[in-house]
Amino acid sequence: MPDNAPRHRRGIATVCLSGTIEDKLLAAAEAGFDGVEIFENDLLATSQTPEQLRDRCRDLGLRIDLYQPFRDFEAAPPPRLAANLRRAEHKFDLMERLGVDTVLVCSSVAPDTVDDDDLAAEQLHALAERAAKRGIRIAYEALAWGRFVNTYSHSWDIVARADHPALGLCLDSFHILSRASDPAGIADIPGEKLFFLQLADAPSLRMDPLQWSRHHRVFPGQGNFDLKRFLGYVLDAGYDGPLSLEVFNDVYRQADPRCTAVDAMRSLVALEESVGVPLPAPPRLTGHAFTELTVDEPTQARLADTLTALGFTLTGHHRESPVELWEQNAIRVLVNRGSSSGGGAGISSLAVESSDPVASARRAEALLAPVHTPDAAMPAVTAPDGSRIVFCGPGEAWRDRFRPSSEASRAEGGLTHVDHIALTQPFDHFDEAALFLHSVLGLDTEDNTEYAAPFGLVRARALSDPGHHVRIALSVALIRRGEEWSPGVPAPQHIAFATDDIFTVATTLRTAGAPPLPIPDNYYDDLDARLAPLRLADLREHHTLYDRDNDGEFLHLYTPVLGDRVFFEVCQRIGGYLGYGTANTPIRMAAHRQQRLAARSAAA
């Protein structure tokens, strides 16, 4: 797809979305899709007639690009051909009523399928002949787990052998890339024989391909497939049909389809960019401009005490809103005392320094992010978790909004800058959030990691700009928690501040009467057995956690949770360590739980 080429139509299969077909069509249209694949089960469950659905799609501006799937047709034992053709004619009737001209035929999985390419080609030819009389095209697709046909090259052999103008291929990135087939050969297939393209990404998982496909597909950019390369070959072949998403995903099957459809569209726009469709490039990010906490009344005093103990000083007051500015070296924390949404305190805004805030906003807008520009010089977008991301220029223009405090100048304590911001994500929006930050902000995405926390498994994923100026660590419970068993479960957000001397910071905290979160002795005994760090006694004394990899070391400590929603981390990176000490998170969580239970029983 050369620069400025007219873009391909964009489609989505109804199976990607939750709800009834009525919900799905509306969500797809509102997200701006041009067309839909109608998944058969969605049609069967509605009381709308095919004609009513056809009209509804037309009214919504959606073309029905594909009816799917038709199964177990080719290479059937010959006595079954008549029944299979009867079944197909029923579906052709339906397609005429729906006004859709292409049907997906998946390669057979039936146990009695015959291993005979000539028979497969002959039967598909017969099907195509009948389809052609109705103006219908057959898009034949090799399932990764097809009985005999499970590679695109094999499906192309059969289509070429059948040689009928109404018979072509459907290519599905999952079926090809999950088998690690080389997609390069796609470029050699005549473009007019590529009838349809289904796009899906997936995380690298070692499991049965069928289960992997049916439960764990994700939208492009959320998994590990090289879809840029794949799509490149498809476009090189001359494919000119829609780019259509087909994602079976357990979470999306039960999430709000309106959010999922926007997430899906964003993934397509970002994928198109990777193959040359122009989009405003992501400006360079050079750091965290400020981070805003929204605080309720009871938490305000504790937060101020904690910031003071950490070495921050109150350097300004917002000229219009009840917002305080606290500073230390290159760190700016805004404390918004105005609105409290329950839970004490939370990270409400995250401001990054962009080399071009206006371009950042233009890119965000092109990627379907809700953009707010009350101040054109400082545009903001709302992230999937509801927090706001603000783009600030390098000049600190935002500072004009604050009246400097007379009594204090910016502190020069032991904390140098924001190392990372850690955001617990709402259950339904984890993959969406990672794609949002990756595409909108241009951050690189690490792979998912999982760990066992005291109250259930947690999935984590970090993102960073190439220069590590802006790091964001996302996490989510692997299973959505219920109400019955969550005794003070800690799922707060936090800001991690960097230091070059964590033990001095710890000493300062203790002197200020705000010692770090206590860490159990048992942890240090194990650390000694496991890694035998040089300064074990200091780590133990200062309640500092430790991790090491081949490139360096990571030392980190925590404050107690303030309210129910926020705490701080202080960390020191030594050498080239690029992680987040995730292995220590369960220890931190158990310690926070103990702190909160103690605070609760002290309050009672």
Residues that bind a second copy (CB under 8 A): 15, 18-20, 23, 40-41, 43-50, 86-87, 90-91, 93-94, 205-208, 210-211, 215, 250-251, 253-257, 426-428, 452, 454-457, 477-482, 484-485, 487, 518, 520-523, 525-526, 528-530, 586-587, 589-591, 593-594
Q: Please report how close the Cβ of residue 261 comes to a second copy at its closest, in angstroms.
A: 12
Q: Please report how close the Cβ of residue 208 comes to a second copy at its closest, in angstroms.
A: 4
Compute, in degrees rounded to 10, the torsion defined by CA atoms 200, 206, 209, 213. -30
Q: Is 380 helix (H, G, I), strand (E, B) or coil?
A: strand
Cα–Cα dist 433/286, whole Å: 21
Q: What one-character-per-residue DSSP string does 237-280 give?
A: TT--S-EEE---BTTGGGS-HHHHHHHHHHHHHHHHHHTT---P
Compute, in degrees rounded to 10, the torsion defined by CA atoms 216, 218, 223, 226. 120
Give the residue ranges of the annotated binding site for Mg(2+). Answer: 420, 494, 569
| Residues found in the chain | 604
Per the listing, tokens 């220590």 go with 584
Cβ neighbourhood burial of 79 (10 Å; 0-12, 13-18, 19+): exposed
Q: Please report how close the Cβ of residue 387 comes to a second copy at its closest, in angstroms.
A: 16
Per the listing, tokens 């984890």 go with 430
Q: Are 261 and 12 in contact (CB under 8 A)?
A: yes
Q: Please report how close the Cβ of residue 427 comes to a second copy at its closest, in angstroms.
A: 6
C-beta closer to a second copy: residue 184 or 210: 210
- Retrieve residue 478's tokens: 């692997």
Q: Please report how close the Cβ of residue 526 comes to a second copy at its closest, in angstroms.
A: 5
C-beta closer to a second copy: residue 532 or 604: 532
Q: What one-character-per-residue DSSP string does 545-591 give?
A: EEEEETTEEEEEEEPPPBTTTEEEEEEEEEET--S--GGGHHHHHHH
**Backbone φ and ψ of 256, nearest 5°:** -60, 120
C-beta closer to a second copy: residue 10 or 24: 24
Q: Please report how close the Cβ of residue 36 comes to a second copy at its closest, in angstroms.
A: 16
Question: Residue 428: left if φ>0, alpha if ψ -120 to 50, beta else—which one?
Answer: alpha
Q: Is 533 helix (H, G, I), strand (E, B) or coil?
A: coil
- Retrieve residue 146's tokens: 């097809």
Q: Please report how close the Cβ of residue 467 comes to a second copy at its closest, in angstroms.
A: 32
Nearest to 244, CA basis, from 139, 89, 320, 316: 139
C-beta closer to a second copy: residue 394 or 586: 586
Q: Please report how close the Cβ of residue 254 comes to a second copy at its closest, in angstroms.
A: 3
Q: Are 260 and 17 in contact (CB under 8 A)?
A: yes
C-beta closer to a second copy: residue 59 or 208: 208
Per the listing, tokens 């005291």 go with 454
Q: Please report how close the Cβ of residue 479 comes to a second copy at its closest, in angstroms.
A: 6
What are residue 23's DSSP bridge partners? none
Q: Please report how close the Cβ of residue 112 comes to a second copy at its closest, in angstroms.
A: 14
Residues 6+ apart with CB under 8 A from 63: 9, 34, 35, 36, 57
Give the residue ranges of the annotated binding site for a divalent metal cation. Answer: 141, 172, 198, 246
C-beta closer to a second copy: residue 515 or 586: 586
C-beta closer to a second copy: residue 249 or 336: 249
Q: Is 140 helix (H, G, I), strand (E, B) or coil?
A: strand
Cα–Cα dist 421/568, whole Å: 10
C-beta closer to a second copy: residue 283 or 492: 492
C-beta closer to a second copy: residue 163 or 525: 525
Give the residue ranges of the annotated binding site. Answer: 141, 172, 198, 246, 420, 494, 569
C-beta closer to a second copy: residue 97 or 417: 97
